[in-house]
Amino acid sequence: MIDGERFARYPSLRGKGVLITGGGSGIGASMVEHFALQGAKVAFLDLVRGPSEELVESLSEIAEYAPLFLPCDLTDISALKQAIQGAEKTLGLIEVLVNNAANDERHAWEDVTPEYWDKMMAVCLRHQFFAMQAVAPGMKTRGQGSIINMSSISWMIPSTGLPAYVTAKAGIVGLTRTMAHELGPSGVRVNCVLPGAILTERQRRLWWTPEYENEILNGQSLKRSLMPEDVSRLVLFLAADDSSAITNQSYIVDGGWV
């Protein structure tokens, strides 16, 4: 649980409508918790019901506004748009969008088919643009809004063993930069966050071996594991009015690896 006495509170987030994709687990779940405990009105999209419903239940008694979970397959753009409309009916206009959902499953470049490539772009990249397209009109009407797109340092290291994912994450940086200029005249900010190796439950379960941990710590300047909350606290800042002059930027949270 968040240490409310140690870390910053952002009054400008209280009561704001926040939408987070992939919010049922990992970094996404941490962001749902952090925004909810700032007093924001949070909706999140995810495919997996069990952990998502448990997250809502765990926060419903301690947050000012219980998060709203909307099951959604983000590769179905029509369903994505309907879910965003549903969130806005409940929360009002979305003022903060965090494009978080992705899948970093490993894959050998020799085995990638056109179908697999298209699937990975749909899972990791395409929905980010269409989520922005859906919330931007409401943000433009208000003359303000903050969009945070989640990329990765994977394309900067560069990583191997997941080329489609790496390509998508590099594309997110370019998408962020062009949309910052598209939406900036209307007062809407678009920034990007690039996490390094974050110790989520998924990472621990699938890939976090002692050898991999040694590789990470040897690469990082800071010799400790990075946790989801290390990312969430930066996202809070970029969503809050404290960062109202910041757009078109990419922020790395990797313990000094890159």
For residue range 147-205, list pLDDT tens digits in order: 999 999 999 998 999 999 999 999 999 999 999 999 999 999 999 999 999 999 888 88
**Domains of the chain, earliest start first:** 13-253 (3.40.50.720)
Residues 101 and 22 sit within 8 Å (Cβ to Cβ): yes
Q: Label residue 206 by pLDDT band (50, 70, 90).
A: confident
Least confident of 16-25, 124-133, 210-219: 210-219
- C-alpha dihedral over 148, 151, 152, 154, to 10 degrees? -170
Residue bearing the bigger pLDDT, 206 or 27: 27
Closest to 109 (Cα-Cα) out of 169, 150, 166, 157: 166
At 168 the pLDDT is 98
Please, is 88 exposed, middle or buried when counting C-beta atoms within 10 Å of its C-beta (0-12, 13-18, 19+)?
A: middle
Residues 183 and 140 sit within 8 Å (Cβ to Cβ): yes
The 10s digit of each residue's pLDDT in 97-121 is: 999 999 999 999 999 999 999 999 9
Residues assigned a catalytic role = 165
pTM, two decimals, is 0.96
Instruction: Compute the average pLDDT of residues 135-144.
Output: 98
At 95 the pLDDT is 98
